[in-house]
A = this chain, B = another copy of it.
Amino acid sequence: MTKLYLGIDLGGTEVKIAVVTAEGVIREEARVPNSVVSVPEEICREIISRAKAMKDFKKLAGTGIGVAGDIDQAHGIVRFSPNLPAWKNANLRKILGRALPKPIIVDNDANAAALGAYWLDAKGKVNNLVCITLGTGVGGGLVIDGKLYRGATGSAGEVGHIPFEPNGPICKCGSRGCIERYLGAPSLSLQAREEVKMGKSALIMRLVNGRLNDITPAVLATAAQKGDQLAKKLWEDAGERLGIVLAGLINLLNPEMIVLAGGVSRAGDLLLKPIKETIKERAFVTPANACKVVISKYNQQLGVVGAALLAKK
């Protein structure tokens, strides 16, 4: 019989809790609302009570938790989470370890998503995979030889902070021209906003009822699907830029699969088509042909499934 793990995807607005099989299948799921003002002890109490109510609770072989931010994976501590400012130095291993099945493994959400993509999108059948989460930030996780690759200090996989343009705009990380500065949801929205403000798209203006601050990647995807030239161009540029970075990544890591996940990836072919064209133009032929680039079919589940499988040995 397959082993079961508890997965906790600790987001800024919602916590997903699930019992997951060793192959990444969700058996039972629950959700707890969260907010930026939440304090760890309170939410953790709620998480514990929901987890204990699950019918396979007694059979669980471990607990994995994915959180956005800087995680001390070795000690199970959230050093800092941008979505949860009150969780500074929260020792989740200690807080949850009293009540939930051990081992308690805490890692960042992009690593959890990579493990989720490995089991769901790749069915555990590739050796090497890169997962890129395209949301407010651009995150990433690397699976090498079937295992999460964390590097020397647990921070490997920061695809978003690979430089795209050496003298590009300043990034919040302190560097310049990181790909996150072009592909992150706020950057995409900002690029559109400036053009729309100059009257470049009546359609987008209409879609947001004149409220430029309501422009989001989702709006831009709708506009592009309706044929809006500006939106189409923005997605083409975005795909080309990410494609250039991915071509370098393919030359460097020669992965079997690149999985794109997160809200911005819902643009689908608008993003994927120029990515694939650019990779074809830019990367070495053999590794480019060997690398499947896909958009995750399991966007909603990657985080919680991957979190659960963090606990799998």
Interface residues of A (CB under 8 A from B): 126-128, 140, 142, 144-145, 149-159, 161-166, 173-176, 241, 244-245, 247-249, 251-256, 281-284, 286-287, 290-291
Contacts and interface: CB of A to CB of B under 8 A. Distances in A.
A287 B152 contact: yes
B252 A159 contact: yes
A156 B130 CA distance: 13
A287 B244 contact: no
Contacts of A163: 244-245, 247-248, 282
Given A149-B144, A254-B150, A155 B281 contact: no
Contacts of A249: 252
Identify which of A158, A255, A283 gathers the most chain B CB atoms within 10 Å of its CB.
A158
A39 B15 CA distance: 65
Contacts of A150: 254
Contacts of A286: 153, 155
A166 B241 contact: yes
Q: How many copies does the complex hold?
A: 2
A151 B248 contact: no
B284 A151 contact: no
A246 to B, nearest CB: 10
A148 to B, nearest CB: 12
7 contacts: A142-B252, A144-B144, A145-B145, A153-B287, A155-B287, A164-B166, A249-B252
**Pairs A-B, 10 closest by C-beta atoms:** A151-B254, A156-B254, A162-B248, A158-B251, A175-B282, A161-B251, A152-B256, A152-B290, A153-B290, A155-B287
Contacts of A252: 140, 142, 156-159, 162, 249, 252
Given A155-B286, A163-B248, A247-B163, A174 B256 contact: no
A163 B241 CA distance: 11
A159 B251 CA distance: 7
Nearest to A254: B151
A275 to B, nearest CB: 14
B254 A161 contact: no
A163 B177 CA distance: 13
Identify which of A149, A152, A161 gathers the most chain B CB atoms within 10 Å of its CB.
A152
A199 B166 CA distance: 29
A171 to B, nearest CB: 9
A247 B244 CA distance: 17
Given A252-B157, A255-B152, A166 B244 contact: yes
A147 to B, nearest CB: 9
A188 to B, nearest CB: 17
A75 to B, nearest CB: 14
Contact of A175 (B126, B153, B241, B247): B247
Contacts of A165: 165-166
Contacts of A248: 161-163
